[in-house]
Structure 1
Amino acid sequence: MMASSSGSGVSRPPPHCGGRRRVVATKKRDWTNWLSVNNSVKKIQRREISSKRQRSVSISNSVHRFRNIRLTEQYSTHDPKESSSFALPFLTKRAKVVEIVAGRGIIFALTSSGVCAAFKRDTKKRICFLNIFPDEVIRSLFYNKNNDSLITVSVYASDSFSSLKCRSTRIEYIERGKPDSGFPLFESESLKWPGFVEFDDVNGKVLTYSAEDSIYKVFDLKNYTLLYSVADKNVEEIKISPGIMLLIYSRAASHVPLKILSIEDGSVLKDFNHLLHRNKKVEFIEQFNEKLLVKQENENLQILDVRNADVKEVGRTEFMTPSAFIFLYENQLFLTFRNRSVSVWNFKGELVTSFEDHVLWHPDCNTNNIYITSDQDLIISFCKPTDSDDQSTIYGDGKVGSINISNIWTGKCVGKINWRNGCLNEEDEDERRKVAGALEEVTALYYDEEHNAIYTGNAHGLVHVWSN
């Protein structure tokens, strides 16, 4: 999974094929009107994806893989009977799905109200809710492949929703309907605003920040043991890449101090200053292995090689500040998101790919409504319909989109699920309307590579399974 470069928000994959997921504590406030407050977990608009496999799926195989995917199942995150056990009124109401994670045939769906439900694919039934306390509001999920567990990050009414609390629960316990068999994590840490916890799947680490004492701590994601601490009140932000951490310090008038640490033991690998234009706002600083991307307001993008200080500049009219990044480590590329469009760049500052027929539905891109496959060859997103498949005069009053699958290397659309082809029986009018309803206001998307199934969640709290 992303935060702005200022560091607010949450990062993720999965959940989607590895990466970072950061959850930031919120300021103390009145949560009694939760559903009217836009305060669901924000996604870090920057995610790193790493694959250990070779890119092996051809375009023709990709087309075949998604050719016969249809709507096969529907689940609901809302249950009036079971939700009566919740102590908070907003938890009992139907809410939109904001995050989907899957593992071992179980689908986890988190709603904006803070309710998380687990569904079993083979039985087609809900197993349980993961809210084990009546006043628990779950804010984010992380599937830890290292020990086959699900980490939930929650806040509680008894704590005035002020501190993040983490819990790890093995998938096998959830599968048995025993979500209360987990154990708490990082109990020694005070994760109050602006503190955070960040899960880094690429390096197998967890980063926490305690705002009370300005200490960052790095834990092992396999067994949650503390590895080392970074105590420095002048650090404004930390960015993680494979093998390293970038510490960004408070800027001076003409430069910003930077430090690169080993992610394994916290040792300093490089300590240097990056020159800046005076009186120009820094729009972002991003780290990708040995490359540093720096962009200031109304200035060119700078791509710095920290090994030899070589700088490559990309004109400000060619590269405009994106709202989000996704780094593809194996391919040495990165994706940018801006105004609902996606572009692929290399670290020479060259535009590699522009996508056809892949206009994102949501302007505020986050990693909960797009998915990059682990081979880094496909991007799957909820998109605006084209003129040829527009349904606004038939279904949904213009709220129905499509699930588009595009090749990252060519930009070509290799698959699409819309109201026309997402039916088991394309001639059945009722079936078409059901599919159109499933594609209305999709708010979360996840691709299960093991089962070749796409899971989507919508504004009505429903989860739909698309498979062949």
Structure 2
Amino acid sequence: MEGGRRITVSPRPCCGRRIVAAKKRPRANDGFVNSVKKLQRREISSKRDRAFTMSDAQERFRNIRLQEEYDTHDPKGPSSMVLQFLRKRSKIIEIVAARDIVFALAQSENNQRICFLNVSADEVIRSLFYNKNNDSLITVSVYASDSYSSLKCRSTRIEYIRRGTPDAGFALFESESLKWPGFVEFDDVNGKVLTYSAQDSIYKVFDLKNYTMLYSISDKNVQEIKISPGIMLLIYAKASSHVPLKILSIEDGTVLKSFSHLLYRNKKVDFIEQFNEKLLVKQENENLQILDVRTFEHTEVCRSEFMTPSAFIFLYENQLFLTFRNRTVAVWNFRGELVTSFEDHLLWHPDCNTNNIYITSDQDLIISYCKADSDDSLSEGNAGSINVSNILTGKCLAKIRASNSFPVDNNCSCSDKPSRSYCCNSKKRKHGSKMRSTVAEALEDITALFYDEERNEIYTGNRLGLVHVWSN
């Protein structure tokens, strides 16, 4: 998990997803707040004093509270019998905020696959990507008409969605055959899109601003491509004792360096990752190797100190990287030294999912859905907490937990309450003006999380299809 976001076609596609767009509530003096933030950014660099960063973050999140609730579920359901499953509640699997609109992607719980944002009836939206380069939302979908076997991308300007005409968008990469194991990867750091057509073994790089194709890579021996700022690492088929590698310029595909890295024979490669000039290689039951590809300086980290993580996130601003393993997060530098172990930051979900964590643009804070307390069990029904931690120190700066009280509105006439936490027929609650969930209930079974840095608001979605807004 580097700067890019890769979406692949699964041979067994996931359950159907649908997307609901909700307009953010207006904020008083929004223009003034944004002007102040712009002045702060201009006067205070991203490398600002650590003490100031921590106190600023604590102040930002000190009084954050549950403010609004939105319901993506339509209790009446569509009239078509084909869409009967949409009457059931579906968990939120992804949240994306784009200026004054929040998009929540919901996943159905049965085998029928369909979703809609004024789209065709057999479309399943697999993922969302907000392209800040041209202020548009990219949807990545599969279709029943080809047995959900190919990815299709579409770009829709946010202004079209705001006007209520989302069908005014246009298709992307129509010339590409993105059947499994093909993929599309959106790289926000470099402003590029990487596609892979497995049918003809061709990788193509597009400009994220205008979707112009820049160049292609046609080589059947390429097994994987890793993207980092300014460059791409091409990993070739492994030989008996080494793996051939190439480093290319991300801008024009020029080969900057070709070399091979020695491997232990008959040992599985756990991962090969590239970050700028640093190459990270780990084989099964072996030490982590960190190689500087410019000087070929070599560093090893004992396998007992660095165990293979389930995922990485590279922190470009700080020249560090995060590892995720067994619900824990750690920060390392490229000398192989452990920089940070987080206090009170045990992730709720066992698998690292970027939809459940958020790292700020300055890469100084991580916001995650965590266990509420080290003594709590992980049994279903317990409320977790939203933790805000400093990446460089590991210190927990703020926590949204169930002990924060919020009144329950029991004045509900709904005769079909699925649980005491919400009313399925409340129009007021559906439009965000009335809440049925307590803080504890809103913190149960969170399946997606997003932080809007401009508005200082956290959005969470849960398994019931409810989206909650947390702000000051």
Question: TM-score w.r.t. structure 1 length?
Answer: 0.84
Q: What amino acid sits opposite 2:399 in the alignment? A: K
Which residue number in structure 2 is paired with residue 458 of structure 1? 462
Partners of 2:370 and 2:12 lie apart in 1 by: 36
Partners of 1:216 and 1:202 lie apart in 2 by: 19
Alignment counterpart, residue 251 of structure 2, candidates 248, 260, 264: 264
Residue range with higher mean Cα deviation, 413-422 or 249-258: 413-422
**How far is the alpha carbon of 1:422 from its aligned partner?**
6.0
Does residue 167 of structure 1 match 2:167?
A: no
Does residue 440 of structure 1 match 2:432?
A: no
Does residue 204 of structure 1 match 2:191?
A: yes
Q: 1:292 to 1:84 in 2, by over 3 A?
A: farther
Does residue 176 of structure 1 match 2:159?
A: no
Matches within 5 A, 1:393-412: 398-412=381-395
- Given that 2:92 and 2:463 are in contact with CA atoms closer than 8 Å, whether structure 1 keeps it comes out as yes
Q: How much identity, in percent, do the aligned residues show?
A: 73
Q: 1:424 to 1:408 in 2, by over 3 A?
A: farther
Does residue 140 of structure 1 match 2:122?
A: no
Which residue number in structure 2 is paired with residue 249 of structure 1? 236
Q: 1:135 to 1:321 in 2, by over 3 A?
A: same
- Given that 1:84 and 1:92 are in contact with CA atoms closer than 8 Å, whether structure 2 keeps it comes out as no
Q: 1:377 to 1:444 in 2, by over 3 A?
A: same
Which residue number in structure 1 is paired with residue 427 of structure 2? none
SS at match of 1:379: strand
Q: 1:250 to 1:91 in 2, by over 3 A?
A: farther
- Superimposed CA distance per residue, residues 442-465 of structure 1 (whole angstroms, 9 cap, x where no aligned partner): 000000001000000101111110
Partners of 1:384 and 1:432 lie apart in 2 by: 23
**How far is the alpha carbon of 1:21 from its aligned partner?**
1.1
Partners of 1:290 and 1:86 lie apart in 2 by: 56
Q: What amino acid sits opposite 1:279 in the alignment? A: N
Number of corresponding residues = 417
- Given that 1:27 and 1:193 are in contact with CA atoms closer than 8 Å, whether structure 2 keeps it comes out as yes
Partners of 2:86 and 2:123 lie apart in 1 by: 9
Matches within 5 A, 1:306-325: 306-325=293-312
Partners of 2:380 and 2:126 lie apart in 1 by: 31
- Given that 1:88 and 1:135 are in contact with CA atoms closer than 8 Å, whether structure 2 keeps it comes out as no
- Given that 2:224 and 2:234 are in contact with CA atoms closer than 8 Å, whether structure 1 keeps it comes out as yes
Partners of 1:278 and 1:84 lie apart in 2 by: 61
- Given that 2:77 and 2:84 are in contact with CA atoms closer than 8 Å, whether structure 1 keeps it comes out as no
SS at match of 1:251: coil
Which residue number in structure 1 is paired with residue 57 of structure 2? 62
Partners of 1:245 and 1:172 lie apart in 2 by: 33
Q: What amino acid sits opposite 2:311 in the alignment? A: A
Which residue number in structure 1 is paired with residue 23 of structure 2? none
Question: TM-score w.r.t. structure 2 length?
Answer: 0.83
Which residue number in structure 2 is paired with residue 24 of structure 1? 8
Partners of 2:79 and 2:63 lie apart in 1 by: 40
Which residue number in structure 2 is paired with residue 5 of structure 1? none
**How far is the alpha carbon of 1:130 from its aligned partner?**
1.8
Structure 1 unmatched ranges of 5 or more: 3-10, 12-18, 41-50, 117-128
- Given that 1:86 and 1:135 are in contact with CA atoms closer than 8 Å, whether structure 2 keeps it comes out as no
Q: 1:217 to 1:86 in 2, by over 3 A?
A: farther
Partners of 1:422 and 1:334 lie apart in 2 by: 37
SS at match of 1:265: coil
Higher-Rg structure is: 2
SS at match of 1:222: coil
- Given that 2:91 and 2:464 are in contact with CA atoms closer than 8 Å, whether structure 1 keeps it comes out as yes
SS at match of 1:252: coil
SS at match of 1:382: strand
Q: 1:73 to 1:433 in 2, by over 3 A?
A: closer
Q: 1:232 to 1:91 in 2, by over 3 A?
A: farther
Q: What amino acid sits opposite 1:24 in the alignment? A: T
- Superposition RMSD in Å: 2.5
**How far is the alpha carbon of 1:65 from its aligned partner?**
0.4
Q: 1:178 to 1:295 in 2, by over 3 A?
A: same
- Given that 1:28 and 1:160 are in contact with CA atoms closer than 8 Å, whether structure 2 keeps it comes out as no
**How far is the alpha carbon of 1:376 from its aligned partner?**
0.9
Partners of 1:300 and 1:211 lie apart in 2 by: 33
